[in-house]
Amino acid sequence: MSDPTTVTPLRGEPEDALVIAGVPLASRLFIGTAGYPNQAILRESVQASGAEVVTASIRRVSLQGHGSDTVRILKGKRFLPNTAGCETARDAIVTAELAREALDTNWIKVEVIGDRETLYPDVTELLEACRHLVDDGFVVLPYCNDDPIVCQRLEDIGCAAVMPMGSLIGSGMGIANPANLELICRRARVPVVVDAGIGTASDAVIAMELGASACLVNTAVAKADDPVRMGRAMGRAVQAGRDAHLAGRIPRRGRAEPSSPQLGLVGS
């Protein structure tokens, strides 16, 4: 019998499988590993969420094999190292190369921050870094702003997915610009992973209903009063949102419309 505290990843029809760079993924939730009260809660939260892909900053992973034991306690998960803290294309490229050496993976989440207050990406530096890393054989998943044109440019240079922000990193503000996000999802020919700003399960549902392929969450789980319970909620949320997107919502109307027929009522 499966663990009732763990989300069983949604395994839909084969044509609806989430595939990135030829790799099928069982869960549409990606989860971060920073900021948890302790490593035991991190492990339990990731397990409860059902997430298969976990992100980690390469600056917190020791190349000598000591220090953080995140890799050890999450053995079996697919690690997506990121270039968090980088402010130039050069720094991001060097960090990605270190990540490939440290974690033996060519998958990389590319972050190039242009503003320390908002943590908005520097688009020019981001495009340069991604172009170089794609040419160097990396599977590149860039964190970017919710701009359809930027996402298109990243797709054009060969990124395996795009990761537009829902809102400011760590803000918990949810999906700030649903119209742009829906447009990005509708146009993209690669998976769209909503990254940053998700604060609770309903935010993840909205992102998935707009057509996102997956959601990445960190602070919303790590800083929740009960991270394990929130991890489980997030796993269920992305499943519910994906199902709702595929099912198709009813149109919004400015008037009431009865669900039961009006003919044949008693007294009519």
Q: What is the pLDDT of residues 214-248, one digit of tens each?
A: 999 999 999 999 999 999 999 999 999 999 999 99
Q: Is residue 232 part of a domain?
A: yes
Q: Is residue 171 part of a domain?
A: yes
**Confidence (pLDDT) at 262:** 61
Q: Is residue 263 part of a domain?
A: no
**pLDDT surpasses 90 at 255:** no
Which residues, including other chains, have CB under 8 Å from residue 29's CB and lie 6 or more apart? 7, 49, 50, 51, 204, 214, 215, 216, 217, 234, 235, 238
Q: Is residue 18 part of a domain?
A: no
**Confidence (pLDDT) at 139:** 97
- Total of domains in the chain: 1
Within 10 A of 265 (CB to CB), how many other CB atoms are there?
Answer: 8
* Four-CA torsion 134, 135, 137, 140, nearest 10 degrees: -10
Digit-coded pLDDT (tens) for 60-116: 555 444 445 788 888 889 999 999 989 999 999 999 999 998 888 999 999 999 988
**Confidence (pLDDT) at 61:** 54
**Containing domain of residue 128, as a range?**
28-246
Q: 75, 77, 109, 223: which one is catalytic?
A: 109
**Confidence (pLDDT) at 256:** 84
Q: Is residue 195 part of a domain?
A: yes
Instruction: Please report the DSSP string for 234-267 in residue order.
Output: HHHHHHHHHHHHHH-PPPP-SS---SS-STT-TT
Residues 139-165: what's their mean pLDDT? 96
Q: Is residue 105 part of a domain?
A: yes
**Confidence (pLDDT) at 65:** 47
**Confidence (pLDDT) at 66:** 41
| Backbone phi, psi, residue 195, to 5° | -130, 125
What pairing do the DSSP bridges indicate for beta strands 23-25 and 18-20?
A: antiparallel
**Confidence (pLDDT) at 75:** 86
75 carries an active-site annotation: no
**CA pair distance 136, 42, nearest whole angstrom:** 33
The average confidence (pLDDT) of the chain is 88
Q: Is residue 22 part of a domain?
A: no
Across 39-53, 56-70, 97-111, 194-208, least confident range: 56-70
| CATH number of the domain enclosing 177 | 3.20.20.70
**Confidence (pLDDT) at 1:** 39
Across 51-65, 99-113, 159-173, least confident range: 51-65
**CA pair distance 77, 72, nearest whole angstrom:** 10
Q: Is residue 73 part of a domain?
A: yes
Helices marked H in the chain: 39-49, 70-73, 89-103, 123-135, 148-156, 178-187, 201-209, 219-222, 227-247
Digit-coded pLDDT (tens) for 7-33: 555 444 545 689 999 999 989 999 999
